[in-house]
Amino acid sequence: MDFSKLKGHIYFQDKFIKSVDAKIHVLNHSLHFATSVFEGIAVYNKIPFLSEDHFKRLINSSKLLKLKFNLSIRRLEKISEILIRKNKIINGYIRPIIFRSSNSMSPETRDCYTIFAMASWEWGKLFKKRSISLDISKWPKLSNKEFPIEAKSSGSYQASVISKAELNRKKYDDCLMLDLKKNVAESTACNVFWVKNKKIFTPKTHSILNGITRQAVIEICRKKKIKVVEGDFKLDTIMGSDHVFLTGTAAELQLVNKIKSKKFSIESSILNELIFEFQNIKKLNLKNLKSISKS
C-alpha cells in the first residue's frame, strides 16, 4: 500500500484535511535527523484500545526527544475519536506523529517548530499466520545509556529496519534482536516472552520499547497469579524454553514456532489462557492499563 495515497482525512497542523493533501518538504528536519516520535494504537469496533497509555507514552517520547508539544491526553483522545468517525474506521490503527519543521538543516533546532499529525486506516493483524519463525539479527538494540530507547522514536528503528531488510524471507518471518551485552531484547517491532516450567520470562526494559501490550500481558499474569520474571537473559535461556511469543499493538499475542533451527511448541494451556484473557480485554476495549486490574 502506498500511504501517500491514503484515502479519507488526516489531522494535520491543527485541522482535519484530506490525507493526500498532508504534505511536508523534503528538507524537513525530522526526515534528515530521525527525531520524530509516534504511536500505533489499535482500534477495535470503532474504539481506540488502551489509548490513554499510548498517548501518555507519546507525550513522554516528545519530552525525551526535546520536541515542544502541549496537547493534552484528553485533546488527543478527542482528535482520535473524530478521526475514527470521519474515516469510518471499524477495526484499524491510529498513527499520531510529532516532528520538527524545516527551519534547520543541522542538529540545531532552536528555529524549528513542532508539527503534529494523526492518521488512521483499516488494518488487521501484523502477521497473518498463527505462528511465525525468527532469525537472530546481527544488529544490536542500544540501551537507555546510549539512547532514549524508552521513546517510540523514528531513530530507534534503524536497527529494526536494516534487520528486516536483511531477513531471508523464504526461511523466516522476523528476527530477534539482542542488546549490546548479548542479552535477549525484542523483535524488530514486538516485545518477546517465553515460558519455562509454567513461569513466564521477558527482558527488562533497558534496551527495549516497553510495549503497552507487554505491560498488559504482565498485568494479566499478575491477575491470574502466573509468575513473570523480568531480567537479563542470554540466548540459551530462550532457546531452552518451552514456548515463545511476541507482543505488540499490531501483532497482539503472536506465537513463535522457531528461532533459527530450534523449534517450539505452540500448543500450551498457559498460552491459550493468556490469549483468551487478552481477547476478553480487547472485547472490553479499555482506555487504560489500570482498568485491567479492575476488570
Q: CA–CA separation, 53 vs 197, rounded Å?
A: 31
CB of 91 to ligand PMP, least distance (A): 16
CB of 104 to ligand PMP, least distance (A): 27
Q: Which is nearer to ligand PMP, 17 or 167 (CB)?
A: 167
CB of 214 to ligand PMP, least distance (A): 6
Q: CA–CA separation, 273 vs 221, rounded Å?
A: 10
Q: CA–CA separation, 194 vs 253, rounded Å?
A: 12
CB of 127 to ligand PMP, least distance (A): 13
Q: Which is nearer to ligand PMP, 109 or 247 (CB)?
A: 247
Q: Which is nearer to ligand PMP, 117 or 209 (CB)?
A: 209
Evaluate whether 220 touches 281 at the Cβ level (below 8 Å).
Answer: yes
Evaluate whether 138 touches 99 at the Cβ level (below 8 Å).
Answer: no
Q: Please compute, for residue 74, the number of CA atoms within 13 A of its CA located in the half-sphere on the CB side.
A: 0
Binding positions for ligand PMP, rule: CB under 6 A:
40, 160, 186, 189-191, 208-209, 211-214, 247-249
CB of 129 to ligand PMP, least distance (A): 18
Q: Which is nearer to ligand PMP, 48 or 101 (CB)?
A: 48
Q: CA–CA separation, 50 vs 284, rounded Å?
A: 10
Q: CA–CA separation, 160 vs 18, rounded Å?
A: 31
Q: Which residue has its beta carbon closest to ligand PMP?
A: 211
* Cell representation of residue 284: 472490553
CB of 157 to ligand PMP, least distance (A): 7
Q: Which is nearer to ligand PMP, 133 or 191 (CB)?
A: 191
CB of 236 to ligand PMP, least distance (A): 22
Q: Which is nearer to ligand PMP, 91 or 265 (CB)?
A: 91
Q: CA–CA separation, 173 vs 132, rounded Å?
A: 6
Q: CA–CA separation, 240 vs 94, rounded Å?
A: 37
Q: Which is nearer to ligand PMP, 17 or 289 (CB)?
A: 289
Q: Which is nearer to ligand PMP, 61 or 87 (CB)?
A: 61
CB of 192 to ligand PMP, least distance (A): 9
Q: CA–CA separation, 52 vs 76, rounded Å?
A: 9
Q: CA–CA separation, 222 vs 79, rounded Å?
A: 33
Q: CA–CA separation, 105 vs 30, rounded Å?
A: 10
Q: What is the DSSP letter of 246?
A: E
Q: How many C-beta neighbours within 10 Å does residue 283 have?
A: 10
